[in-house]
């Protein structure tokens, strides 16, 4: 497969996000690399169970069904801080689960995020908050993924992704006004600028790539992808959002303007496979129902 094969969507995922590696990760943190390496070699024929991102990855790769092998619609790249030697268990598990993942980077303990850009990844999913933060600093859409505490998957053959608006799809310019000057100042600001498009946030590029991929499929219930905007905004702040998406030429299938209501039950009703939000408060509500990706960006996430 050549390096210049055109791709509509590329997602990078870490091994800890793809598989449940928490037991061996605790061993690494408690006893060090030697004990960890010995454990992985001893268990390299034991299949790893799915992790937080497994369902999303499986549904993404299913979008390639019916395409020629050399021109897939989606590629998933594996990034791992394992060595190639200890990573053998991960590749064995990928093959066991039938995941079409062929490109990988094993860094033997070094950070993986520097390799995201050379792969031209549209999205990075990781269980490591520091890697996510560094990726965002370098202009890459990234999220720290957290498991749902209770979730029943209802859409086996459709990938459902939900996004927060401000500081995720859009910049945090309006959210800053809300936090610094209050809700009334925010409402006045948005009414005055209703016809002025919002600037893009860290997930604008990923949303655009996802929208481009959606165009391959029918724009109805037969589509294997469905998206939703789930935002704390309400009227009259809705207009600027709608006009911005129209200006960008981007489709979102559903838009929920919740006016500050807890997002979790609405995400459950939508049946999200994953939800991306910058606010830890909203993430805490979301994970009671669905898997969520925290985007540590903008005014809600000051530098630590």
Coil, strand or helix at 70:
coil
CA distance 194 to 188: 10
Planar angle of CA 153, 156, 162, nearest 5 degrees:
65
Local structure of residue 197 (DSSP, 8 states): P
Identify the CA nearest to 227 among candidates 240, 213, 241: 213
Per-position b or e across 151-177, b if 16+ CB within 10 A of its CB: beeeeeebbbbbbbbbbbbbbbbbbbb
Cβ neighbours of residue 41 under 8 Å, at least 6 residues apart? Answer: 85, 86
Helix spans in the chain (H): 15-18, 22-31, 33-42, 54-62, 88-96, 129-137, 173-181, 183-192, 204-214, 238-248, 264-270, 280-286
Contact criterion met (CB below 8 Å) for 88 and 43: no
Catalytic-labelled residue, pool 46, 70, 164, 277? 164
Is 3 assigned a catalytic role? no
List the catalytic residues: 164
């Amino acid at each position: 497969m050549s390096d210049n094969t055109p791709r509509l969507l590329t997602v990078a995922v870490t091994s800890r996000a793809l598989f449940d590696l928490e037991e061996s990760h605790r061993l690494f943190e408690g006893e060090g690399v030697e004990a960890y390496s010995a454990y992985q070699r001893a268990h390299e024929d034991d299949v790893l169970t799915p992790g937080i991102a497994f369902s999303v990855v499986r549904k993404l790769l299913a979008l390639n069904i019916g395409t020629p092998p050399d021109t897939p619609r989606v590629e998933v790249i594996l990034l791992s801080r394992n060595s190639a030697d200890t990573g053998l268990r991960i590749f064995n598990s990928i093959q066991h689960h039938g995941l079409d993942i062929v490109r990988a980077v094993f860094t033997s303990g070094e950070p993986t995020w520097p390799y995201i850009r050379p792969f031209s990844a549209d999205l990075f999913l990781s269980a490591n908050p520091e890697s996510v933060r560094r990726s965002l600093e370098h202009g890459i859409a990234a999220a720290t993924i957290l498991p749902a505490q209770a979730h029943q998957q209802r859409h086996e053959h459709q990938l459902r992704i939900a996004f927060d608006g401000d500081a995720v799809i859009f910049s945090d310019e309006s959210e800053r006004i809300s936090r610094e000057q209050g809700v009334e100042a925010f409402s006045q600001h948005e009414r005055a600028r209703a016809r002025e498009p919002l600037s893009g946030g860290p997930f604008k590029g990923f949303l655009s790539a996802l929208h481009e991929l959606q165009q391959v499929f029918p724009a109805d219930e037969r589509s294997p992808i469905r998206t939703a905007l789930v935002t704390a905004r309400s009227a009259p702040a809705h207009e600027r959002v709608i006009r911005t998406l129209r200006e960008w030429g981007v489709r979102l299938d559903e838009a929920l303007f919740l006016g500050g209501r807890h997002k979790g039950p609405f995400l459950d009703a939508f049946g999200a496979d994953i939800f991306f939000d910058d606010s830890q408060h909203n993430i805490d509500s979301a994970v009671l129902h669905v898997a969520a990706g925290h985007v540590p960006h903008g005014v809600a996430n000051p530098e630590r």
